[in-house]
Chain A
């Protein structure tokens, strides 16, 4: 059984490499390593460009898949340990696949005093995720950020790229529910 497993895994790996594809550890998204090439071409020769490259890579993939980091390491001639060190240092970078929707709830001081804790507990209760976690169906990732600089709209959250402010009561839950419903991928029934 184990051998069969390992065998089939190897086959998949080889196939994937042939097509420059790689099956990701979590989720079933394929990572297309070709996408990163133009970015490496554009930035690769300059110094101090690791962070911009990681940012662009994350824009592409939604997170930083380990194979992508390996490619970057080879091309920039930087040890993978250093790249891993930088990628894990900054809160903006993610090493795991994230939800289709990312909800960032601001817990900056102004938002905090105006009611962020209750927004957080409402989301926690409804989706059973804590800050930093993603729902099992990869629909929603919850994050807490410190100050989005929109304190006058406190408490404020960002769903994808939509800023929602002056949140009272269950407003935020409603916005999230609506967004997930509206963008649902039709099932194949």
Chain B
């Protein structure tokens, strides 16, 4: 009997107080964004780790443009034989995703033939294809960041917002058009390597050591760290929390002034970046530089300089050593196959792209819409710049066209903020998956990015059947064994609770969690794969890391003593808190 986790607690027609979408709310390719209905229980839904805080009404645009348009479209253009991409349902403000299967064997065979023809040329010409796409994304970025919104009329702001959304939608079409083929190639290569008897923990090393835009940002942050130390500003950083550093530096005067000029120069280039993926509710570093200053503060505390050239050389050396060691265990026939797969995965390098594209798309593509929404908020006299993020698309279109006045929404916006907070509090106790647990999933995004492998699915079943679980298995992401007291964190606001030598347990990490890796003994994530943020940073910092554990934040309690084996993917609860 399949395990079924009920969806009843989420069944409602209302997305937020005062909003029930009409049938034509937003276009979709295969299946629309909806709230849960009872029949959804027949399918399998997983809580999406990308938005641990939940999404505001305007933030739900990502679901509409991302999963239910771009992802589903990409799964048709370069067809996944057995799947039509991902759809989603809302659990309050939170997103549950689900694969859309193709079940007809004839259609699956036809889609497989289309993929056979389309995939090789895409991979072979990847450099050129991604180059053109990046150019398109950058060209529009330059346009939107060059517009002086203060000079626009309300009607023009409305038009700007419409254009910004179209840009957002197009960027995610590009995102998924690239992601599916790269992932299919990478997961196929990973599977072949495993079949050839290669150590799965080594496979991601074969593709490391290539510079990305995210690494470029980190390098600049280290330069600023060195400059801060040289300017004698270490005590200022040490004496203040991250959100007070900017004011403290301004008040400090002297060398701090020169350093802040450098910092502002840095922000002009690298500051158009949010602290999480694809969320209009998140400010950029330019709007709120606290995360960047916090990172520099942590780098200063580490004391030693990070030698990027040495780290890069070491990564390349480790890559070449891993490849040589792997090849030495293969027959000549196997080597030929391995070399072909490796060359293909290097030419169209998923791990590299996974880091690189975040800079161009996920971490900044919501900003033009955010700016327009904030400008509209100013223009219509909203109490707070972010208030318009609590309007749905139709509502802000009405307000900005003058069909309705913002005043009609002020109390509703307050109710919706409370609704957001209610679901933010509820998130830690929400089920990781609902509906019917399948034997396996075959969408490469769900396998690699969400880690929905058989370990995950079996752990969910075991947990649901009520047995006490002391051992969990996930994806071995960064080798080594770490032991310590678990800190189960639900979002980055709680990072201050994490002490040195403790084990970070969370749904997933994003770039603002990076500094924490300097002090933890190990990291365990519910989601992710070998290439998720925690996996990449865990390897960089030498922190034993296991991802895709599925139920770590459910099974492990704050204060438990745990052991994390990043080589085997095993996580063991050694002693219960207070036990």
Does A pair with B? Answer: no
